[in-house]
Amino acid sequence: MKEISELLFPDDVFYAEDHEWARLDGGVITVGINDYAQDQLGDIVYVELPRVGDTFEKGEEFGTVESVKAVSELYMPVGGEIVAVNTDLEDSPELINQSPYGDGWLIKVKPDDETEIEELMDKETYLAMLKEED
């Protein structure tokens, strides 16, 4: 596992306590797991994601990520309707390890309330939380 200082944490995303990230773009929020989470999990071998049209409340489980080490639940950083699912992950779940903020995104959500994203942490707050956990 890498040191926190070796991991990537973009400034343009918000971070959840459960290590998901969320990026708002044109009324749609893209969600994935961040670099810390994929590093902790190790090689990701399987992802279970919801279907387009499914709706979830903020904090509700929407899927799982399976690695060689563990199975981890995925939680909604905001409530809303799933408008896209990264189907590339079905055949290439390692994209999450290779590019957690790019090709390894998980879902796109049409939020019930766009302002929910503001309840998530910015980069500095998230990093402070990680350092407290270490």
Reading the chain (134 residues) residue by residue, the pLDDT tens digits are: 899 999 999 999 999 999 999 999 999 999 999 999 999 999 999 999 999 999 999 999 999 999 999 999 999 999 999 999 999 999 999 999 999 999 999 999 999 999 999 999 999 999 999 998 76
Q: Which residues pair with 21 in a beta bridge?
A: 15, 32
Beta strand 80-85 with 71-75 is unpaired
103: left (phi over 0), alpha (psi -120 to 50) or beta: alpha
- Phi, psi of 90, rounded to the nearest 5 degrees: -60, -45
Report pLDDT for 1: 85
Q: Kind of pairing, strands 71-75 and 44-48?
A: unpaired
Coil, strand, or helix at residue 4?
helix
Paired tokens of 33? 């797991």
Phi, psi of 110 (to 5 degrees): -90, 105
Nearest by Cα to 119 from 85, 76, 81, 82: 76
Residue with tokens 């998530």: 120
pLDDT the model gives residue 133: 79
**How is residue 76 annotated by DSSP?**
-
pLDDT at 28: 98
Domains and CATH numbers, the chain: 14-113 (2.40.50.100)
Burial tier of 84 (Cβ tally within 10 Å: 0-12, 13-18, 19+)? middle
